[in-house]
Amino acid sequence: MCGIVGYIGNKNAYPILIKGLQRLEYRGYDSAGVALLNGQVNVYKKKGKVSDLEDYITGQDIRGTIGIGHTRWATHGEPSDVNAHPHTSQNGTFTIIHNGIIENYSNLKNSLTEQGYSFVSETDTEVLANLIEYIYRTQETNAEIAVRIALSKVVGAYGLVIICNEEKDKIIAARKSSPLVIGLGDDEYFLASDATPIVEYTDRVIYLNNDDVAIIKKDELILKTIKNDILEPNVQKLDLGLSEIEKNGFDHFMLKEIFEQPRSIRDTFRGRLNAEKNEIRLGGLYHVYDQLVNAKRIIILACGTSWHAGLVGEYLFEDLARIQVEVDYASEFRYRNPVISEEDIVIAISQSGETADTLAAIQLAKEAGATVLGICNVVGSSISRETHAGVYTHAGPEIGVASTKAFTAQVTVLTMMAMMIAREKQLISVEKFTGLIKELEDIPEKIGKILENNDQFSDIAKIYKDATNALYLGRGVSYPVALEGALKLKEISYIHAEGYPAAEMKHGPIALIDENMPVVVIAIKDSSYDKIVSNIQEVKARNGIVIAIVTEGDDTIEKMVDHVIAIPETDPSLVSLLSTIPLQLIAYYIAVMRGCNVDQPRNLAKSVTVE
């Protein structure tokens, strides 16, 4: 949430900042702004998209080899020009960009008001800019010390980049709970919320840790803690290609990412499955292997789509590995008084690895003594560093705000974990285990077949694009798939959609069904097939429209429903990897036909770094 970029070096900063903001726009698109240091600080900011900012800046002075830029997802104060970042302190000394929330901003604001400060915006960030300036002036200190003192008074989360009008040779950056990466060039440094704006300039990066402060000149970087302890920078090599963050001919990132799933799933299991040796090797779990295999209870914590993947995980761990599983929204878990024991294994699932609620839930679980594992997509992300052990999904950067390939990659990891435990505990035979490995290896090709029939999804979308409501039903492992299908539709097309366990329909939602209501039923051949067929009949008896996702060769359901989408047969444990694909594509085409901004749906942002 909110994207931050910065540059210091010998080049003109503006084009680097604008390109960086375009790459980070998926993190927030309420407003955008840049500040350029060229003798003086010029700030340009505008409500709306980065393109609105570019239009506004045309013809203005864009010189400067030091600059910072921001794309905003509004927290304090509505999206407006004045609330856009960067924010400058009252006397113009400090200009800052910020991702996160200053929780005690109201108290700080009152104290500063008493000292004669007034505020032009409604943001917590302007309060911080003025606090730094107030300390700088009253304590007659330098910018770095003023920043560190100010941050010691702040409660909340921040990824922060600061320029000072009176110390024109440096950028100061700091991080607490909101991500910040520094890219190292030759006599130049790049800063960003994630590595996507940096990758085309350098592959050497430093991920800041909580409470780190970086003082960056074009030819020098000093890293220290807020308390002034000098730190040794940990320079890492970036494993990210430029083509991974571009659309490569697709109309939208979401479509590209849906079509990438054969590749992303293959990359997720590559080198980890070994059918000949009857083995699944998840290197990141080695030192917790025994604890995991012998776990009495697993608690899965996540938000949104990752939570849906967790629900699929619940079926897999219980069915294959016979371990009791609880799946909780991280945001609920952290504010209950959950019962956690030292024997518990907690699995946190997160594409971004930065979700604030998931991070806070991890802290709580760690404090209670549980062993916490992470399933993350973004390498080096906060969650991957906060957890005791974990498995990366290797789906590659997911830029469309609606999560697609991350979900199937998460399910792939959960499947491998459940299979690995099941085999170790000898709950499944060698034959069943190798059969499952082979089935999993075949999944990318089967997804490829679904994608080949892409036209059927746009045909269905054409018919139902003007629907106002939709219901998604599934049983067993198809229930989380129904939830996921409904979430995809509502978040990108703004059609109200609900996912339900099919049997629950009779307990309320059936009242909604009429001849205008599309009901998407995941009706694959598994142990609850007959039951779901009955559920379809119940919908049809009330004139509902049924779109059924069925197993290839099913000619029973075909006769009963309005549309069938056939997916290749696979083991029931793996079917969610296939049945999700049509739902992603139907949601995508409906949203496109309704003229929605598919990659940047309204009010949303990728990477929810505020609670």
Residues in touch with ligand F6R (CB under 6 A): 303-306, 350-352, 355, 358, 402-403, 487, 491, 607-608
Distance CA 15, CA 62 (A): 9
Distance CA 547, CA 559 (A): 12
Cα torsion 505, 507, 509, 510: sign? positive
Specify whether 376 is catalytic. no
Which residue in 2, 164, 303, 596 is the catalytic one? 2
Q: Which is nearer to ligand F6R, 150 or 373 (CB)?
A: 373
Distance CA 254, CA 607 (A): 15
Q: What residues contact 160, with CB distance under 8 A and at least 6 apart?
A: 96, 97, 98, 99, 100, 128, 151, 173, 174, 175, 180
DSSP letter for 243, please. Answer: G
Cα torsion 215, 216, 220, 224: sign? positive
Q: Which is nearer to ligand F6R, 64 or 353 (CB)?
A: 353
Q: Which is nearer to ligand F6R, 84 or 346 (CB)?
A: 346
* Beta carbon of residue 499, minimum distance to ligand F6R (angstroms, whole number): 13
* Beta carbon of residue 196, minimum distance to ligand F6R (angstroms, whole number): 15
* Beta carbon of residue 349, minimum distance to ligand F6R (angstroms, whole number): 7
Q: What residues contact 355, with CB distance under 8 A and at least 6 apart?
A: 302, 303, 306, 330, 383, 607, 608, 609
Side-chain-side CA neighbours of 111 within 13 Å: the count stands at 12
Among candidates 63, 64, 74, 84, which has minimal Cα distance to 28? 74
- CB of 88 within 8 A of CB of 155? no
Distance CA 379, CA 372 (A): 17
* Beta carbon of residue 306, minimum distance to ligand F6R (angstroms, whole number): 4
Among candidates 386, 390, 298, 398, which has minimal Cα distance to 341? 298
- Structure tokens of 298? 């697993």
DSSP letter for 208, please. Answer: P
Q: Which is nearer to ligand F6R, 301 or 422 (CB)?
A: 301
Distance CA 179, CA 243 (A): 23
Strands 31-38 and 66-72 turn out to be antiparallel
- Structure tokens of 137? 């002036």
Q: Which is nearer to ligand F6R, 119 or 329 (CB)?
A: 329
* Beta carbon of residue 356, minimum distance to ligand F6R (angstroms, whole number): 9
Q: What is the length of the chain?
A: 611
Q: Which is nearer to ligand F6R, 471 or 608 (CB)?
A: 608
Residue with CB nearest ligand F6R? 304
Which residue in 46, 47, 49, 606 is the catalytic one? 606
- CB of 50 within 8 A of CB of 32? yes
Q: Which is nearer to ligand F6R, 42 or 584 (CB)?
A: 584
Q: Which is nearer to ligand F6R, 348 or 437 (CB)?
A: 348
Cα torsion 510, 511, 512, 517: sign? positive
- CB of 433 within 8 A of CB of 425? no
- CB of 569 within 8 A of CB of 552? yes
* Beta carbon of residue 12, minimum distance to ligand F6R (angstroms, whole number): 34
* Beta carbon of residue 508, minimum distance to ligand F6R (angstroms, whole number): 24
* Beta carbon of residue 418, minimum distance to ligand F6R (angstroms, whole number): 20
- Structure tokens of 35? 């500040």
Specify whether 2 is catalytic. yes
* Beta carbon of residue 351, minimum distance to ligand F6R (angstroms, whole number): 4
Q: Which is nearer to ligand F6R, 177 or 358 (CB)?
A: 358
Distance CA 196, CA 213 (A): 21
- Say how many Å lie between the first and final Cα of the chain, rounded: 11
Residues acting as catalytic residues? 2, 606
